[in-house]
Structure 1
Amino acid sequence: MDLTTGLWAVATASGDEPVDWSAATTAAKATSTAGSLSLSEAEKAGYAADVRDARSAIRSLTDRSFSVPGTVEIQNRHHWIDANVRTFRRVFEPLSQAGVSVHHASRTVNTATTAGTLAYVARHVLGQYDPLLLADGDPGHELYFVHPNVVQGADSLDVEYPRFRRWIAFHEVTHAAEFGAAPWLSEYLSERLREAVKDLTKYDIPREAFTDVNVAMTAVEGYAELLMDHAFDEESADLRRKLDARRRGGGPVSQIVRRALGFTMKRAQYERGRAFFDAVTREIGIDGAGAVWDRPENLPSDEELEDPDRWLDRVDHQ
């Protein structure tokens, strides 16, 4: 790591946008190690086989068709930063297009915050299914594995690396299944993000748009957890316990950072969404629960996440 380079990049942030993206990228990489991408041919084949097996297992579990990206990227942490800077820029582009005036001091703070977020997440993210929200045209989708973190995660959880890698592959492919089963979902989320940023350009707090995104992502994460436990082809109770502990773990400083970056909300999405789908599945099975992806109106409301019977009654009468 090179803290001096990171600090200098932030201190010299410039341009007309709310964030100096080049400086944020430089600072994020300077304050995080890339990690090793030294993979054997067997490891490369292992990632590919895990994705193929996950696709087959999930397809056999549901009656909904979906595809996975043709190319699976095995990344280091800096590759992940590059990929996600592109996403961040797309999200905040409306602010630039609206000509929102940003003071130099604010740009510096925004750049530092963005760099810190990217660096922190890059050190922890294991895999990512990316539906490329807000991208122009029909951009397809992408699937990443951050190999140094997968290896480190397996070691820290005292889990065999090939088994842990396979678990992560199954989890990310469940997201491909969700977005494939719901062709409307990417545009739904993109539109809510556009609304949120549009509100910000008017200096309004976009509560409704953020609530819609949070509810939708709670459904996404909860359904993924449901599919994972049914599709994964090995005993996984120990993995579930260890990963749940990982999501809650860390010292006081780490907990503060995770809370500030929304990691606690992410954990709540997993837990709240899974509880909703467990209740729904007990009543109508996995295929029935998949009705949530039939159309946007079938997404549960914030209230229905707490009372699945209300969702069952509403969807049953549509």
Structure 2
Amino acid sequence: MNLYRSARAVAGASGDDAIDWRSAADAAKAATEAGSLDLEPGEREGYARDVRDARAAVRSISGVDFDVPDTVEIQNRHHWIDANVATFERVMGALETHTETFPGIARTINTGTMTVLLSFLGRNVLGQYDPLLLADSPSDEHALYFVRPNIRKVADMLEVDPDRFRRWIAFHEVTHAAEFGAAPWLSTHLENRMEDGIAALSDGSFDREAFRDLDAAMTVVEGYAELLMDHAFDDEYEDLRRKLDARRQGRGPLQKLFRRLLGLGLKQRQYERGKNFFEHVVAVRDLETASLVWDHPENLPTHDELDTPGLWLQRVER
């Protein structure tokens, strides 16, 4: 880690855009230890086996015929930063196209902010299913990433078997692949609502409905993934969830502030709210009924229906 090199990269931000993405990536990597990719014997095959087993189990439980991405990578933290800076650039690019040229001081501040974001996430993300939203080409493949140094670090902190913890992460990320396989329209739906919200922000307004719809859709994505995990994972998992929740609660004030600023508290609320919705649906109906959310966009629950699943059941079962 080289904080001087990181600061120098931010200070050297240039170009005409709101953020100098190359400088942000360089600065984030300078501020973040890459972590080891010295795999133990059999570890690479362990990752591959976990993904294969997760695909078979989730297919069986969900009844969804899907495949995992061709791109499945074991990454260090710098690899994750490089892979995700392009995603952030695509999303933010929709805002930049509506905005005049940025003065140098604003670009430097924005680049520094993005550096902090990429560095913090790079040190904390365990696994990621990336649907490549707003990709330049429809032929771009989805991707599945495992940040091996973070998985090993957290497994040690939680005092759990690293192979078991890795497998749990693999199952969770593969459930997201199942969702996008079950709903080919989902990527476009998320992109459209995201673009609507960003376009409104660039015009100086706030499209409340666009962001509410996006939040509801992501709540369904996270909640359904939790539902499939409960049914598909082939080992006990409550201790893993309990220890991860305790770790989140036990973070220091600075980390809690970062999580709040980055919206990670919102993500946790989406997990919990979505899981409660689907648990109710399965309790009064079954998993097949819960999967109706993926038939078409109109079947996604509204914000009110997420908190009152009975209303959603009445609507989709007419």
| TM-score scaled by length of structure 1 | 0.97
Deviations 1:101-138 (CA, angstroms, capped at 9, x unpaired): 32222211111111100000110000000001011222
Distance 1:188 1:138 in 2: 17
Counterpart secondary structure, 1:183: coil
Contact preservation (8 Å) 2:71, 2:142? no
In structure 1, runs of 5+ residues without a counterpart are: none
Deviation, 1:208, is 2.2
Deviation, 1:94, is 2.2
Task: Name 2:262's counterpart in structure 1.
Answer: 261
Counterpart secondary structure, 2:35: coil
Contact preservation (8 Å) 1:18, 1:95? no
Deviation, 1:41, is 4.2
Counterpart secondary structure, 2:83: helix
Counterpart secondary structure, 1:35: coil
Task: Name 2:32's counterpart in structure 1.
Answer: 32
Q: Counterpart amino acid of 1:310?
A: L
1:64 and 2:31 equivalent?
no
| TM-score scaled by length of structure 2 | 0.97
Deviations 1:182-223 (CA, angstroms, capped at 9, x unpaired): 000001111111112211221222322222111111110011
1:186 and 2:194 equivalent?
no
Counterpart secondary structure, 1:72: strand
1:221 and 2:222 equivalent?
yes
Task: Name 2:126's counterpart in structure 1.
Answer: 126
Counterpart secondary structure, 2:305: helix
Q: Counterpart amino acid of 1:252?
A: P
Deviation, 1:99, is 4.5
1:97 and 2:88 equivalent?
no
Task: Name 1:7's counterpart in structure 2.
Answer: 7
Deviation, 1:34, is 0.5
Contact preservation (8 Å) 2:98, 2:203? no
Q: Counterpart amino acid of 1:9?
A: A
Q: Counterpart amino acid of 1:275?
A: N
How many residues align structurally?
317
Distance 1:145 1:276 in 2: 28
Distance 1:109 1:86 in 2: 19
Contact preservation (8 Å) 2:71, 2:141? no
1:84 and 2:77 equivalent?
no
1:309 and 2:299 equivalent?
no
Deviation, 1:62, is 1.6
Identity %: 56
Counterpart secondary structure, 1:123: helix
Task: Name 2:75's counterpart in structure 1.
Answer: 75
Distance 1:14 1:185 in 2: 36
Distance 1:246 1:279 in 2: 27
